Structure 1
Amino acid sequence: MNPSVMTRRVIQLDAFGGADVLQLREEPIAPPAEGEVQLRQVAMGFNYIDIYQRSGKYPLPLPTGLGHEAAGVVESVGHGVTDFQVGDRVIYMNAGVGAYADRRNVDATKLARIPDGIDEIMAVAVFFKAMTAEYLLHRTYPVKAGDIVLVHAAAGGVGQILSRWAKGLGACVIGTAGSDEKCRIAREAGCDHAINYSQEGWVERVIAASEGRKAHVVYDSVGRHTFLGSLDCARKFGTVVVFGAASGPAPSIDPELLNKKGCLFLTRPSVFPHNADAAAFRANADAVFQALRKGWIKPSVSARFPLDKVADAHAMAERRQNAGSIVILP
């Protein structure tokens, strides 16, 4: 390869499957096009959607890159870019797949600045997850003081942020997790009660924790294992939010069941439509960084993997060995 040509290291896959389909390649990278910036990426985030896309559960056109978020430093800017300059520290999570790379050209409208006092690794450890929590807590169901909130997988990356942020908003937070150790982590993350959903009778224990009042909103990222129980944990006119499927897709139901369970509201939202507009994305990012400064979000990094060991990061997550975020470093 011509030594004068700028290159990058990037993870790509040509087929769906296990973690072994992830391939590290070196390839040329062009200068940024009009409206783009070129980033030297300092840290990349890992999210469970990466596994869904790698495995083909959420299929992508092949061949493809992987990864949705990264933080880095602007190295060059394309024509027409006025919002950023060389040396700016920035972050993104909605620029399309391909974040698993040490350099990347990104549409400038997809970037937000990282405030002073927050380093790139800590920012990327929470950003995608916190942006998920932001829309769940403020738009899918606007949580207010006095609400009872049920968070499944409360020891996970999103779960910890949801729990602590909801607590900061004045809610009573009930968390569930898949082991007693993870229940301990959920309590440390702000849950008033933490219940092991791998044990029989977890629904009854959730209801008892709310003194029979049940939850105003249930945030369910587990899916198949918890979904039907989630319907039983929501109060009359309550909201059940399915935003993931860690244990498999939630079972299909007859809509009449929602009526029988108490005229429930059921929704399956996504972070990306809530951040499709540049102004909205940057305002939501500001809300995340403000919550970080208030201590409502506390970065928790379970593990760091170099780019050439990204398959090990996927394997750890699939074994559910991480309680908190996984960060990938170039």
Structure 2
Amino acid sequence: MPQTARTIVIHETGGPEVLRIEDRRIGDPGPGEIRIRHHACGLNFIDVYQRMGLYPLELPQALGMEGAGIIEAVGPGVPHLKPGDRAAYAAAPPGAYAEARVMPAAQVCPLPKSIGFDQGAAMMLKGMTVEYLFHRTTPLKRGDTVLFHAAAGGVGLIACQWARSEGLRLIGTAGSDEKCELALHHGASACINYRSEDFAQRVRDLTDGAGVDVVMDSIGADTFVGSLDSLKPLGMMISFGNASGPVPPFDLAMLAQRGSLRITRPTLFTHIADAAICQDMAQHLFSKVTKGDIQIRIDQRFALDQVADAHRALEARQTTGSTILEV
């Protein structure tokens, strides 16, 4: 039965002012689809990239890649979900900034009863990102050292705890002493205030000149060269975001000159394209949370109609932990 749901939509790219709230018509799910009524949805930098046009979308387009709520209806060919189930997801296409939506079911995951909807909305995209960074990108073993930028953000605080739970040494960076303290509290072995220190030089000091095994960098342009300079020979650079802008073209010889370095630019959505892998990643994340290895910290909450303010806070790097929109 058709109904409407308040939904955040963009008709053009630009600043937070292009975000509009509209009543959108939603119907019943078709084959392989579900209809979910959200309790909360997550805020992520990919939403900003899409709003700005860095990641182009066909317009008009609803935004949001992460949400949690109750399954209202299930189309044919959806064996893992039924009406009334609690569920959470990080998935394409965008559209999570909404009271309810119809969407493909493959990447929607049953949510354990012990995990709240706000936690589910805050952790799926960020937590599964950490899962693939630590388990599906390059081999890591107990005792290895990782440099993780933006360690006090939503992804970063999960990464600090994940590293601690697996015996990895994580050196973080953050933009203030207060944010550094937050990262340390969540499991970072050290955290560098990049506004007051040269982080690459500080990493060398912390590793007795050796450098780190892996850099996980979601900042992009501002940290790229320093990240390369923080690696030991044969180290791996994982560039997985562009918070300061995309990395400009560079000479591959830079990698040879710095010790035969390796580099990759993965995305979560490549990893979760396989439905079985997506469900496995979610279960790994859920187990970390339910065992207490990871606590999901939600430091900012906005109403759905305050989404522009939420975007402004995220872009200004005024947030810590995760941010959710309450529906």
TM more than 0.5: yes
What one-letter code is carried by the residue in structure 2 that aligns with 1:310?
A: V
- Structure 1 distance, partners of 2:198, 2:36, is 50
Unaligned runs of 5+ in 1: none
Q: Does the 8 Å contact 1:18/1:54 carry over to 2?
A: yes
Q: Work out which of the residue numbers 88, 99, 102 in structure 2 matches 1:102.
A: 99
- Structure 2 distance, partners of 1:200, 1:51, is 28
Q: Work out which of the residue numbers 278, 298, 307 in structure 2 matches 1:310.
A: 307
Q: Work out which of the residue numbers 154, 162, 185 in structure 1 matches 2:159.
A: 162
Q: Does the 8 Å contact 1:303/1:327 carry over to 2?
A: yes
Give the corresponding residue for 2:143: 146
Give the corresponding residue for 2:174: 177
| Matched positions, count | 327
- Structure 1 distance, partners of 2:247, 2:291, is 35
Q: Work out which of the residue numbers 268, 280, 285 in structure 2 matches 1:283.
A: 280
- Is residue 2:199 matched to residue 1:189? no
Stretch of structure 1 that moved more, 293-302 or 84-93: 293-302
Shift, 1:275, TM fit: 0.6
Q: Does the 8 Å contact 2:107/2:272 carry over to 1?
A: no
Give the corresponding residue for 2:108: 111
Encode CA deviations 1:199-242: one digit per residue, 9 max, x unaligned: 24321111111222210000011111111011111001000111
What one-letter code is carried by the residue in structure 2 that aligns with 1:211?
A: D
- Is residue 2:57 matched to residue 1:60? yes
- Structure 1 distance, partners of 2:221, 2:25, is 43
Give the corresponding residue for 2:88: 91
Give the corresponding residue for 2:202: 205
Match of 1:144, SS? coil
Q: Provide the alpha-carbon RMSD of the alignment.
A: 1.3
Encode CA deviations 1:227-284: one digit per residue, 9 max, x unaligned: 1011111001000111111112223221011001010001111000101011110001
- Structure 1 distance, partners of 2:198, 2:8, is 43
Q: Does the 8 Å contact 2:304/2:326 carry over to 1?
A: yes
Q: Work out which of the residue numbers 247, 264, 268 in structure 2 matches 1:271.
A: 268
What one-letter code is carried by the residue in structure 2 that aligns with 1:62?
A: L
- Structure 2 distance, partners of 1:232, 1:194, is 17
- Is residue 2:68 matched to residue 1:74? no
- Structure 2 distance, partners of 1:192, 1:267, is 25
Q: Does the 8 Å contact 1:227/1:251 carry over to 2?
A: no
What one-letter code is carried by the residue in structure 1 that aligns with 2:301?
A: R
What one-letter code is carried by the residue in structure 1 that aligns with 2:264?
A: T
- Structure 2 distance, partners of 1:114, 1:79, is 21
Encode CA deviations 1:92-111: one digit per residue, 9 max, x unaligned: 11131111110111222121
Match of 2:268, SS? coil
Q: Does the 8 Å contact 1:143/1:166 carry over to 2?
A: no
Shift, 1:6, TM fit: 1.5
- Structure 2 distance, partners of 1:82, 1:186, is 40
Encode CA deviations 1:170-206: one digit per residue, 9 max, x unaligned: 1111111111111111111211111111224321111
- Structure 2 distance, partners of 1:193, 1:14, is 44
Q: Work out which of the residue numbers 202, 217, 221 in structure 1 matches 2:218.
A: 221
Q: After the TM superposition, which parts of structure 1 deviate over 6 Å for at least 4 consecutive aligned residues? A: none
Shift, 1:5, TM fit: 4.5
Distance of aligned partners of 1:81 and 1:173 in 2 relative to their CA distance in 1, 3 Å threshold: closer
Q: Work out which of the residue numbers 111, 121, 124 in structure 2 matches 1:124.
A: 121
Encode CA deviations 1:116-167: one digit per residue, 9 max, x unaligned: 2111111221111010000010011232101011101111111111121012
Shift, 1:81, TM fit: 2.9
- Is residue 2:46 matched to residue 1:49? yes
Unaligned runs of 5+ in 2: none
Q: Map of 1:226-237 to 2, 5 A cutoff? A: 226-237=223-234
What one-letter code is carried by the residue in structure 2 that aligns with 1:59?
A: P
- Is residue 2:257 matched to residue 1:260? yes
Distance of aligned partners of 1:197 and 1:9 in 2 relative to their CA distance in 1, 3 Å threshold: same
